[in-house]
Structure formats: C-alpha cells, structure tokens
Chain A
C-alpha cells in the first residue's frame, strides 16, 4: 500500500513562513490534498489538487508537488494557523485513499 510521510511537528514565529512536507514514492504523479484540523474540530480542506485553494482559504496558503515531495506553505503565519495538517492522496493501484500521519504546526 502507498505510504505518506510527514514531519511530526513544525514551529514557526508569527509573520514567518511555515513549510509542511508530505513525502511519497513519485508523489508528483498524484494529486495531493491538504487538511487543517484545529483542536476539537473536524478537518477542513485547505488545498486540493496540489495547489488549488477552496473558497474562503486565504492566499497565504499555497501548495506544490514534484518528485517525491509535496508541500503546503503558509506565509505570514498567524496564531489561528496553529493546527494539525494532514496530506492525502488517492492510490489508483488499490483504489484506496491514504492520509499522511499529520504535522502539528505550533506558532511560537
């Protein structure tokens, strides 16, 4: 089965940039989606198909995907961005959906 890897945690000062990676074998050939989960809340889609933002998601959020690494970048980080972030792909070989283990973003 397809496996995704993420760093357990990322710490960033307010106003700086947070970079969250999602690793997988040739992940650049897949569509990667990102979810934000604030404490006590359901996940929220913040990026789909590598770099598209759903309506209502700030332009500070951007995405990329190439080779074996996808990334979610949060510019001008705010306190409200503190949350867990999960990447997700669809594995066509198994027709199953896979989530990464998640990255906790802490705003210092």
Chain B
C-alpha cells in the first residue's frame, strides 16, 4: 500500500525548535516530490513548499520562505519540516502530500499523510 505516515502531535512553547517528519512507503520514495501544507483551525489549505528526495531540491512559498526549513533523508524515506523558533501563529495541522508523476496527472497531490498537529502556547 502506498502511504505517507507522519510523526505524532506536538505541544511546544514559543521560541522552541521543532522538526516533524513524513515517511513514505509502498513506492519509490526518491522519485516523487513531497510537499508540506498548513491548515490552521477552521481554515483552508496553504502550500508551504516542496522537496524532491532524489536530489534534495527544495522550493518554498514566498509566504513561508525563511520561516521554516524543508529537508529530506532518502535513506529512511522521510521528509521533514523544521522550525528554529516557533510562534503561537504556527499552531496548525501540517500535512505532507505526494506529487503524482506523469503528464496525465499534471501536478496533483495524490497521496496525503494523516497530518501532524502542532500546538504552540
């Protein structure tokens, strides 16, 4: 089964650092882009950025550039989202999602992780 499994819920204080993970299985992890998406309580989906495990190429949304760091460790089929100084405004659900491949798919996100809740207070 193709799936993305995310790390568990986190409760942190402002200023803390944090790294959450997303582990892929059931497919060739290195050959599919992995994106991170934020969803604040009761709000919509916000695209944070995307990483290609094959060469660690990373792209960020301008809204999140400099606020978070995206990395990948293909040896353990995991992508990561990291903060060096959390703020209360970072409180949200964070999803990872796989970008499907091939021209027929046209850059849709076909597999999603279950989400990681991050609470900062």
Contact = CB atoms under 8 A, between A and B. Distances in A.
Nearest to B61: A96
Given A1-B62, A95-B59, A102 B45 contact: yes
Interface residues of B, number: 24
Nearest to B105: A48
Contact of B106 (A48, A95, A101, A102): A48
A42 B61 contact: no
Contacts of A100: 44
A27 to B, nearest CB: 13
Interface stretch (B66-74, B80-88, B112-120): B112-120
A85 to B, nearest CB: 11
A44 B35 contact: no
B11 interface: no
Nearest to B110: A45
A90 interface: yes
B110 A99 contact: no
Contacts of B95: 42-43
Contacts of A95: 59
Nearest to B46: A99
A51 B109 CA distance: 15
A52 interface: yes
B81 to A, nearest CB: 15
15 contacts: A33-B109, A35-B109, A42-B115, A45-B108, A48-B106, A48-B110, A49-B108, A88-B109, A90-B107, A96-B47, A97-B50, A98-B47, A99-B46, A100-B44, A101-B44
Interface of B: 35, 37, 44-47, 50, 59, 61-62, 95, 97, 100, 104-110, 112-115
Interface of A: 1, 31, 33, 35, 42-45, 48-49, 52, 54, 86, 88, 90, 95-102
Given A43-B37, A43-B109, A88-B45, 8 more contacts: A31-B107, A33-B108, A42-B95, A49-B105, A86-B44, A86-B45, A90-B107, A99-B46
Closest 5 CB pairs of A and B: A31-B106, A48-B108, A33-B108, A90-B107, A99-B45
